[in-house]
Amino acid sequence: MITIHKFNEQGQISIFPADSIHHLNLNNEDSSGTGLIWIDLENSTIEEDEIVFKKIFPIHKLTLEDISYLRDVNKKPHLPKVEEYPTYLFVILNPLCDDFQQGKKVLDIDHATTQLSVFINPKLLITHHLGSLAGIHEVRAYFDRHALKPHHGSDFIFHLIMDGIIDRYRPVLDSLEEYFNELEEVVFVAPGKSKLQDLIGLKRIINVLRKTLIHEKEILFRLSRGEFQVIGETRVIYYRDVYDHTVRFVELVENNREMVSDLLQAHLSSSSNKLNEVMKVLTIISILILPMTVISGIYGMNFENQPEVHWQYGYPMALFLMLVTSFCSYRFFKFYKWI
């Protein structure tokens, strides 16, 4: 689906039907708020991509391959990156999927992130994504309430999109931290196979978040130091603010990564201790029964010249010896505090 947003001289946004894409003349548009165009492609078809990226706004064939990366269902999103071409700046981001941001799906690693491809030049902004993104809808809603200032251009809109994408990591990281606290209380009391699977799943998703945030931090670092001409000098400070948020989230992810490693070690230690306790009890029971087994074995050999066999008190005496030897073994263990 193609959605065309155009800002008028007052910076107010207007949405045009998708078929008006054929009548766009990007060469005659101004470079700031007046006439600025934002084209959003959500779940677009291959035919719609060809119209936009081959006829309306031709892009490099390698870039076209990158934006089509997720059309293969077996592929994961392309890692974040930024590349500068003569007519546009190309950025790939990995925003969190809308479904993943719910606490009950915090371990759903296959749907953790998606791919957002962005094309920026002074007169145009194109966003391309194969799934619904709340961040895009929020920016659209923002411009329904606020006009785009004359000195703001496509770099300002892109800043709003990036800021929304990065801020959406906070509730997920908070949810992870709460889940860690719950696991920390359970892992020492009742370590089990299900908890181990949860911890391994957490470790995998944290690694995904860490890898994504580190790459996006590098992109924001380059954007915040004014490396690209399409990012105006007055907008660099906005990107620097988003970069600071990303740095804090990377630190939180690193802390969570250490925490899950510690919990894994604690779980393994707790399971090992529990197994040792079970083995200790079984060993003590075996040792207590061992004297009984020896005595019963001796008097169960059935030799003819065995005096106690025909003794009327032989059976009670054998039972008495079994009880005495077991009791002495028990007291021996208690004396050395082995039990």
For residue 297, pLDDT beyond 80: yes
Q: What is the CATH number of the domain that holds 220?
A: 3.30.460.20
Higher pLDDT, residue 54 or 9: 54
The verdict on 255 and 139 lying in the same domain is: yes
pLDDT in tens, 97-134: 876 655 444 445 666 888 899 999 888 899 998 888 88
pLDDT in tens, 219-249: 999 988 888 888 888 888 889 999 999 999 9
The verdict on 95 and 236 lying in the same domain is: yes
The verdict on 261 and 119 lying in the same domain is: yes
Letter string b/e over residues 264-275, b meaning 16 or more CB atoms within 10 A of that residue's CB: bebbeebbeeee
Mean pLDDT on 250-276? 82
324 lies in some domain: yes
Query: In terms of residue numbers, what domain contains 334?
Result: 299-339
pLDDT in tens, 135-181: 888 888 888 887 777 677 888 889 999 999 998 888 888 888 888 77
Mean pLDDT on 245-256? 90
Q: Rounded to an integer, what distance in angstroms lies between the CA atom of residue 224 and that of residue 127?
A: 20
**DSSP assignments along 134-192, one per residue:** HHHHHHHHHHHHSPPPTT--HHHHHHHHHHHHHHTHHHHHHHHHHHHHHHHHHHTTS--
Lowest mean pLDDT among 199-208, 307-316, 318-327: 307-316
Give the pLDDT of residue 28.
Answer: 44
Lowest mean pLDDT among 37-46, 209-218, 242-251: 37-46
The verdict on 122 and 227 lying in the same domain is: yes
Among residues 268, 262, 109, the alpha carbon closest in space to that of 192 is found at 268
Mean pLDDT value across the chain: 81
